[in-house]
Amino acid sequence: MTTNAKDVRKTWEKIADYFRAHSIWMKWYCTGCGAIEMPPTMTSRFDMERLGMGPMATPRQADVLLITGYLSAKTLRRVIYSYEQMQDPKYVVGFGSCTLNGGIYFDSYATMTRLDHYLPVDLYIAGCMPRPEAIMNSFDTLIKMIEKGEAKGWKHYQENHEWYRRNQLHSLKEVYVKDEFHE
């Protein structure tokens, strides 16, 4: 009985995953330097819309959180907040070496060194900077991953929320901070 129900659900999920794979709406979190690689990816040379990809204005509408470049402690808090505002299923793509291992800022007092410690990264795009070809290639991978149901970062985050939260608190002390401008 249970297996049956799981199967039905799986079919439904499969169809949904097909849609999700071919309609990738992104929220770009571009406080680092990588944002400049996105326009060529969008425009006629590479045309990411043909894969159903496109930028979105708010995290509520987006499926993919694309984080380009380094993240300081301060921006990391905002990224986590944005990620939590996104709707399931959601995917995180780390863009550039800085998200991967801190890049040239590995020893900075302000920038974190690995994103997957705080958020479930489904895919990294290495390089400093990765060129549009690399972006297109990696998104092709992401599409395949989603289609196969392998991009399960959001589930991982739900299931291991404690662990992520502990890491976040270790590095940031608090995620939701107050500052004087919003008092």
Which positions lie near another protein, rule CB under 8 A? 16, 19-20, 22-23, 25, 29, 43-44, 47, 49-52, 55-61, 63, 73-74, 77-79, 81-82, 85-89, 100-102, 106-114, 117, 167, 170-174, 176-180, 182-183
Residue closer to another protein, measured from CB, 55 or 127: 55
DSSP 139-167: HHHHHHHHHHT---HHHHHHHTHHHHHHH
CB neighbours (10 Å) of residue 111? 21
User: Closest separation between CB of residue 129 and another protein, Å?
Assistant: 19
User: Closest separation between CB of residue 157 and another protein, Å?
Assistant: 13
What is the C-alpha separation between 129 and 96, in angstroms, rounded? 6
User: Closest separation between CB of residue 142 and another protein, Å?
Assistant: 14
Cβ atoms 118, 171 nearer than 8 A: yes
User: Closest separation between CB of residue 79 and another protein, Å?
Assistant: 7
Residue closer to another protein, measured from CB, 106 or 150: 106
Residue closer to another protein, measured from CB, 54 or 150: 54
DSSP 8-state class, residue 120: -
Three-class secondary structure of residue 62 per DSSP: coil
Residue closer to another protein, measured from CB, 116 or 141: 116
User: Closest separation between CB of residue 103 and another protein, Å?
Assistant: 11
Residue closer to another protein, measured from CB, 97 or 138: 97
What are 163-171's contacts with CB under 8 Å, separation 24+?
A: 164/118, 164/119, 164/120, 167/117, 167/118, 168/76, 168/80, 168/118, 171/73, 171/76, 171/112, 171/117, 171/118
User: Closest separation between CB of residue 172 and another protein, Å?
Assistant: 7
Provide the H-helix boundaries in the chain: 2-21, 38-42, 73-85, 97-101, 132-148, 153-159, 161-172
Residue closer to another protein, measured from CB, 61 or 137: 61
